[in-house]
Amino acid sequence: MQIFTFILILVMAVVASQPLTRLFRIVPLPIIQIGLGAALAWPTAGFHPRIDPELFLLLFIAPLLFADAFEAPKREYRRLLRPILSLAVGLVFFTTLFGGLALHWLVPSMPLPVAFALAAVLSPTDAVAVSAIVDKESVPKDLIHVLEGESLLNDASGLVIFRFATAAALTGSFSLWQASLAFLFAVAGGIAAGLLAVVVVSWTLKLLAKFDRIAPEAQVLVIMFLPFAAFLAAEAVHASGVLAAVVAGLTVGRTRTANQLSVSAYMLAHSFWTMLAFLLNGTLFVLLGLQLPAIIRTVPPALVDAHWLWQPLGIIVALTLCLLLLRFVWITLAIALNRVIAWRLRLEQFHATLRTRLAGSIAGVRGAVTLAGVLSFPVLALDGSPFPGRDVAIFLAAGVILLWLAIASLGLPPLVRGLAAGHGAAHATELRRARITATEAAIARLEGVAHRGGTDGAATIDQAVAEGLIATYRRRLALLDDGQTPREEAVALQRSESTLRQTALAAEREALRGLLRSGAIDDATFNALAHELVLHDVLAESKAGSH
């Protein structure tokens, strides 16, 4: 009962964070959610949950990354694969090496393997927090895609390196050759586990499709198990479960799996993952806030100097600035190297101004994966003594997360203002061309029906309906053709059509309510017809909003 009550309170906190964000417009959503969590964990509130890191990764990180990967723009990721891999893999190694050395210099009492482990777990970024801080429309699309792609992949690389560094700290030995082979196995095993899970789910859906009248909810349940199955399969062979969940999300939409879902099941699955991602994102920051009071109350003695009470905060500031500098240096070097490679191989270059590089550096906010990783530090060493530097690592990681969020909240909005000017034109042109192609295909298909022979009543009705639909599609095609119809007139025509359509739908609703009140139809009939009207209403509103 206590667990159920705790879950309800978490959900209520996530819901309450939305109106609070509107009330305190300056404070971004993640900061408010962290504050709510900290308020719940205040001594009088009595909420002091202990998080199992492995369970945390399974229940929160795996489905969240799967949902993000499922909705990810695959074409853009392929086009920007070089900068994404540069940040997701190269920057993780770069941060682990130099960040670990900086940590050992800032906190000499922390053993070097522990410092490398902490630097590795501080490498994963949180693109969701960035989206909550700034409007995506104000950031160049390429930069957003690179940050999101990096966030999907560097969770796996950072956690794998963290696992090896922690093992080195426990055993006191480290082999670069063995660690490299283990890293490659973890990556390959994660990819294989993700693909295998997609194949199994696809086969299950295909089997269900052989039965008539399978509820769409059953199909959605099969998809719901996909990230958990991929994660558990990878962890069973000591591979990267996080990477398996990401691979499953990236590939499920590009295989026949999605095509085997019915229309209603696909819509239901999309709504489910959208809602779950919203809930999990908010819950992660609330859980971070729940951990803060206990972390702050127990400042590790290794960070406290009798002559300088501000030393713990100073170390957090220095560490955060060091990580920011490492990220900026790597981005600058990677862009310069990419230009040389692209020039020699005649490939497309990724252009980035100084403002873009600064924005990309500050946007590397740390978040939930960092917290989950640092909490998974062993409590005891192999000899039964306390694991060296564990409390220090947790304190520093929490401080870096909070400080980086604060820096991004203050620095990103003015830095990205105006960066995306003109970037929406290409997307609008692509959208218009796609609509024209789809409309022309619909006209061609309907013309085949209209010109089809036959003298029976059904064929005559089909031809009449097809001709009416062809006229509608030709009118839409004329509106999409800027050379024939001025844009202002096209917008006016679309608004008029949408207004009249909604007027007709309102009349239908009133008539149905009258029939229900008079007893001419029952509730089941009314609900079925009202549902159809809702679908038509959503279509009318979407058409009005897209023009």
Consecutive H or E run containing 148 = helix 141-171
The answer to whether 443 and 453 have CB atoms below 8 angstroms apart is no
Q: In whole angstroms, what is the distance from residue 60 CA to residue 369 CA?
A: 10
The answer to whether 243 and 253 have CB atoms below 8 angstroms apart is no
pLDDT of the residue at 258:
56
pLDDT of the residue at 48:
59
Q: In whole angstroms, what is the distance from residue 64 CA to residue 44 CA?
A: 32
Instruction: Kindly state the tokens that stand for 286.
Output: 């609330």
Consecutive H or E run containing 395 = helix 390-416
Q: In whole angstroms, what is the distance from residue 418 CA to residue 409 CA?
A: 17
Contacts of range 341-345, beta carbons closer than 8 Å, 24 or more positions apart: 341/82
SS3 per-residue string spanning 348-385: CCCCCCHHHHHHHHHCCCCCHHHHHHHHCCCCECCCCC
pLDDT of the residue at 330:
93
For residue 49, give the nearest of 236, 246, 294 by alpha carbon.
Answer: 294
Q: In whole angstroms, what is the distance from residue 143 CA to residue 80 CA?
A: 10
pLDDT means over runs of 10, the chain (547 residues)? 75 87 77 84 61 76 84 78 87 92 88 89 82 71 83 83 82 74 86 91 81 76 89 90 88 64 71 84 83 72 57 87 94 84 68 82 84 78 77 86 88 77 58 69 72 58 70 74 50 57 67 73 64 62 53
pLDDT of the residue at 230:
92
